[in-house]
Structure 1
Amino acid sequence: MSSDAPNQAQIDYWNAGAGETWAALNDRLDRQLAPLGDAAMEALALQPGDRVLDVGCGCGHSSLALARAVGGTGQVTGIDVSRPMLDVARRRVPEGMESQLEFLEADAQSYSFETEAFDALYSRFGVMFFADPAAAFRNLTSGLALRGRLSFVCWRSLAENAWMAVPRNAGLQHLPPAASGDPSAPGPFAFADARRIEAILVQGGYTNISISPFDTDIVLGRDLDEAVGMALKVGPLGAMLRETPQQLGTVSRVVREALTPYVRRDGVLLPAATWIVTANRASAWEPG
């Protein structure tokens, strides 16, 4: 990809420490995120033979689930900017499914999609990182069939997502003050505002837009040790510790204390808050 790509900062980020971390922890992360992705997939109502684009497919867990849903006559394409994660995705493709499932290392905001190549677009937490989300969705729409369907799941605010907020808030007492940046900047919470999502999709050429809350507890770890390890490596706290690794020991202790009240018999469970977003390509929309 060109070094002057519109999402170059995200491309660099997901090909360095963040992408390598997610690739190494993909099994645990998939276990956490699968119930949320499944809710968005159910809303998409896939049919056998559908052609689906998985936006921000990461390590390919969601792409494999999509491929099973559309069956042997369907086709799934996963697209992501992270080579470390795509390396995992390509290794996961079962024998006999190679012609049904492919992965592209590309930026969905600028990639030239074949016109009306897909019946459906799907994403599990992969659409919040575009520098220009309206432009990205317009580009995605160009590859979607007339009246094609869209479904994705994205995070609501950090404050509503205790599984990230609790360890982050505990660690902050031993870390440099967090910068108060633009809440709409590319990042996990860029789509926290439902009104912003709707405006972006309208600009992108969508209609029949539905944005519904979906809340559930997710398993941060099967035990306290695993939960602390995950909290220190992913999410907002993980990002801060990659910049200040010398604080790891101290932060680990306070995060353990903060997570202890959430220990249950079946693991360490904390609330997660998301939007399930669905829409259709507007029949009158034309790329331009």
Structure 2
Amino acid sequence: MEPTGRAADRTDREAAGKTIGKAIGKAGDEQAARWNGPAGNAWVEAQDMVDALFAPLEELLVEAVPAGQGGRVLDVGCGTGGTTVALARRLGAEGECVGVDISGPMVEAARARAAREDARASFVRADAQDHVFEPAVFDAVVSRFGVMFFEDPVRAFTNLRRAAKENAGLRFIVWRDIAENAFMTTAERAAAPLLPDLPERRPDAPGQFALADADRVRRLLEESGWAGIELRPVDAACVLPETELIPYFSRFGPVGIALRETDERTLRRVVETVRAAFDPFVHGAEVRFTAACWQIDASASGG
């Protein structure tokens, strides 16, 4: 017999929930595969360059934590641990910064970095969206470009809220609108005619610009239990040695992924075409661009 009335509604909701759950699970598996494969390895290989490139944004996160007062801070999407170690130094001898990242290669690199620098930093390889953190233990939660890849942002930020102490601060840096960050899409725009299978960017999908919409960010955080939400536009001046430009765009992003599987002739054509497209950003021995970002602050208050 077919279910009817409320029973039918419940059956439909359960079926929909299972479908959504499967979709999220599949997408989560894709993210894990990406960051534990070539993408994660690329970040490890280029960690010094990336750290130098985004140093101005790291400073914004470090200054959110009182110097020398100890405490525990959670660094979400910690990557190779540069920000985590900097925060640990900021906290002082009585403090600890915990980094969490889904990428095994990057967590290993982060642990090695912390050991070299004798930093009070520890690392967890896990998906911050689902990891069971000890409740109410962190005095602050921070992230530099590490929270845009969640399949279910409300679930993720709710999980982070549970891990935060009452009145703990949240600060993260994300990219603003794609139109304001021409440098970040120059490679794929230039390469598109030569690489027709480049993935299309989908608004609100996990990825670099998933949290570009200020209204959406406020709604996600409010639904996750965060209060006192403030967004401040940040325009960071970033500098890259010109000698690092080709390694940069051939390693990262959609073009970097596609080039790992293309033939040598196409690779040469793409590199030549894309390098020329970056000419407006090249000034002698330096590549300069502005990273148009949001600095987002919130508080774990109100219960």
Which of 147, 151, 175 does residue 167 from structure 2 map onto?
147
SS of the residue corresponding to residue 120 of structure 1 reads: strand
Distance 1:281 1:55 in 2: 16
Q: Post-superposition shift, 1:79?
A: 0.3
Structure 1: segments with no counterpart, 5+ residues: none
Q: Is residue 141 of structure 2 the alignment partner of residue 121 of structure 1?
A: yes
Question: RMSD of aligned C-alpha atoms?
Answer: 2.0
Residue number in structure 1 paired with 2:92: 71
CA contact (8 A) 1:124 1:154 kept: yes
| Percent sequence identity over aligned pairs | 39
SS of the residue corresponding to residue 146 of structure 2 reads: coil
Distance 2:27 2:130 in 1: 8
Q: Structure 1 residues 129-138 or 266-275, which shifts more? A: 266-275
Residue number in structure 2 paired with 1:57: 78
Q: Post-superposition shift, 1:237?
A: 2.5
Which of 75, 86, 103 does residue 123 from structure 2 map onto?
103
Larger helix fraction of residues: 2
Which of 176, 186, 195 does residue 206 from structure 2 map onto?
186
CA contact (8 A) 1:41 1:151 kept: no
Distance 1:126 1:262 in 2: 26
Distance 2:138 2:263 in 1: 43
Residue number in structure 2 paired with 1:228: 246
Count of paired positions: 278
Q: Post-superposition shift, 1:5?
A: 8.1
| Residue identity in the other structure for 2:95 | G
SS of the residue corresponding to residue 50 of structure 2 reads: helix
**Normalising to structure 2: TM-score of the pair?**
0.86
CA contact (8 A) 2:237 2:291 kept: yes
Q: Post-superposition shift, 1:272?
A: 1.6
Which of 3, 6, 28 does residue 7 from structure 1 map onto?
28
Residue number in structure 1 paired with 2:59: 38
Distance 2:287 2:49 in 1: 13
Distance 1:71 1:47, change over 3 A: closer
SS of the residue corresponding to residue 254 of structure 1 reads: helix
Distance 2:190 2:272 in 1: 10
Distance 2:65 2:191 in 1: 38
CA contact (8 A) 1:150 1:280 kept: yes
CA contact (8 A) 1:109 1:130 kept: yes
Q: Structure 1 residues 39-48 or 140-149, which shifts more? A: 39-48
**Normalising to structure 1: TM-score of the pair?**
0.90
Distance 1:212 1:241 in 2: 36
**1:163-174 → structure 2 map (5 Å cutoff):** 163-174=183-194
